[in-house]
Each structure stands twice: as C-alpha cells, then as structure tokens.
Amino acid sequence: MTASAQALRPRRTQAERRDQSERLLLAAAAELVGERGVGAATFENIGQRAGYSRGLATQKFGSKQGLIEALIAQLQTRQGGQLDDRDVDEAPALEAILAYVDVFLRSLAEDTELRAYFILMAGAIADLSDQRGPFADAHVQVERRLEALVQRGQAEGTIRPEIDADAAALMIGSLLLGLSMQLLIDPKMNLEPIREISLAALRQSFAAA
C-alpha cells in the first residue's frame, strides 16, 4: 500500500481495534481447540496464534470461563445477524423455528467457532467443572426462545395447539445438540440430507392441520 493510500485510509478507532483483536483471539482459540483439543487453548498459545501477546489474551478474557463467555456472545451475535437476514421476526412462528434450525445446521459443518463451542462444552461436562454454567445458561436461552415461538405459532394457528411448547423446544434443542456431538465423533458426516429430513419432520410434526 502506498503512503498516499495509507493517508487516505480512515484510522480505526480504539473500539474497532479492540473488537478486531477479540475476534482474532477467539478465532485463534477456536482453531487450537479444533486442531489439538481443549488443553491447547492456553492464553500463551492463543496470543501467539493470533499474533498478539499472552498478556492481551489474559487481559481480554481473564480466565477460561471468560473465554467461553466471549465465544458464546460472539456466536449469539453472529446467529442473530443470520436470523435477521432471514427476517425471522416477521415470519410466521413455524417458519421462524424452521429458519432457526436451518441456520444452525448450515453453520455447523463450516463454523470452526461453533465446533469449538461444543468441544469446550463436552470438556466442561466431562470434568464436572464450573465452566458448565455458561453453556447451561446459553441452552436455557435457546429453549426459552423456541418455546416462545411455539406458543406464538399456537396463537397464530400455524402450530398444533395440543403440543407441549416446553417439550417441543427441548426436543428441537436436543436434536441440534445431538447432531453437533455426532459431527464431533464423525467429522465426515454429510449434514445436508439430515438438515433436509429434520426440517421436513419438524414441519410435519408441528404444523396445524
């Protein structure tokens, strides 16, 4: 880049630099977890992979739980943007539920940070560690969102009224969790036909006559 081009390029604000460093650190952490497991995600390794110091990684996250919470927040923000692109809030509730499942399964095979999320979750469960808390909270949020969508669909008349909304939400979440864990066991699994079958089965099971 020439000196004149550099002069014309707008300078990033401090907030923009902070956001970029956090994104790069989280991407580095996800890569390390995916390649070498949970134990590889030390702040020293994360900082080195991202091109920063261990001190910056420690400053950003503070602890492994802080790293997990930051990863969850970034995934939620990204998923929210994907759902907004699908105009989910304006769609009938059944279509919103199917869009949620569709977005999740389309992301699952390619998103290294989403894969790292489930590896970290499995490690926290296996170790019976306090790091299970952020995962439990995130899953409760998903369940409540899906439950609210089922109830809205019942009020709209698009979802069968006899369905237990809480049980339906838990079933959808369990489907996505099970497929996520299966993909960790078998990374070569072809998700595309499973995605299509899942959407068709949910539509058939939930749709009002």
Q: What structural domains and CATH numbers belong to the chain?
A: 11-62 (1.10.10), 64-209 (1.10.357.10)
Backbone region of residue 128 per phi and psi (left: phi > 0; alpha: psi in -120 to 50; beta: other values):
left
Residue identified by tokens 């956090």 is: 22
Q: Which residue has the higher pLDDT, 206 or 116?
A: 206
Query: What is the average per-residue pLDDT within 63-85?
Result: 84
Does the pLDDT value for residue 184 go beyond 80?
A: yes
Does the pLDDT value for residue 196 go beyond 90?
A: yes
Does the pLDDT value for residue 135 go beyond 90?
A: no
SS3 77: helix
Query: What is the average per-residue pLDDT within 103-113?
Result: 86
- Residue 92 has a pLDDT of 93
